[in-house]
Amino acid sequence: MPDAYGLFGFPVQHSWSPFIHGMFARQSGQDMSYRLFETPPERFRTDALAFFSGGGAGANVTLPHKRTAADLVNELTRRAQLADAVNTIVRRDEQLVGDNTDGAGLFADLTKNLQLHWDSPRILLLGAGGAARGAMEALLSLQPELLVIANRTVDRAIELATEFAELGPIAACEFSKLEHRRFDLIVNATSASLHGDVPLVPIDVVDSTTTCYDMAYGAGDTAFVAWAKRLGAARAEQGWGMLVEQAAEAFQLWRGVQPDTAPVLKALRQRAAMVARSPS
């Protein structure tokens, strides 16, 4: 019987994870299954424990369960502790270990897939919620001259900056205080694109040397990517590569095999482009 894996979230039926992990399994000859668990918050703990009690080998966790999952597991990795969230659960004997592969996925996409390299970049991180927290270590690994966290309410940005202050030069402000400041890399970690919106930041943060990256993704350009292109950004990218790379990190944790992400990312983008072209 194949080893059982799955994704817990709510909603989750839109997820590309079965497609991604199915390709990983086929290319590496792994005998495994992967399914979606549409689990509302009040059932997450019960359903997840039932899955593992029934022999589940590992799981991914997405919204809105990432923080709850940290309380479910027996042990947290350093990455999960820093992110204060779990997106990957690994079963080791009878223990559940919670990890967070989002930051590793973001770093791999920026540096490997997109071939983005700077010397001491100035980075702007939009948002101060769970997605931003998961991105902090990856962005600080780029050794920025300064990482600015901007949020609609400055208190959350200050709190996040304070928590990570020992890892690098960090500042915090609200969106409106960004006028006349330039950045090499702007990462959108807000949920605005999911609603077709763009964070209310001054347009002069983007110029012809700026790379804009949306952690969200869609069949066509996200609202943030379209906004960045209109403003003449050097590059405007969305998070398909991060999605594939964080999944690859989880797959390696589960199976001990590092999958080849390039053909999977290519296939995923082709599928997304077909969806974008298809009549609604």
Amino acid identity of residue 117, one-letter, is H
In this structure, what DSSP letter does residue 2 have? P
Distance CA 184, CA 142 (A): 12
Burial class (CB in 10 A: 0-12, 13-18, 19+), 42: exposed
Which positions are catalytic? Answer: 66
Q: CA 77, CA 67: separation in Å to the nearest integer?
A: 14
**Residue 174 exposed, middle or buried by CB count within 10 Å (0-12, 13-18, 19+):** middle
170-174 vs 58-61, strand pairing mode: unpaired
Name, in order, each residue with C-beta under 8 angstroms of 59's C-beta and a sequence gap of 6 or more.
5, 6, 7, 8, 48, 51, 52, 88, 89
CA 273 vs. chain centroid, Å, equals 21
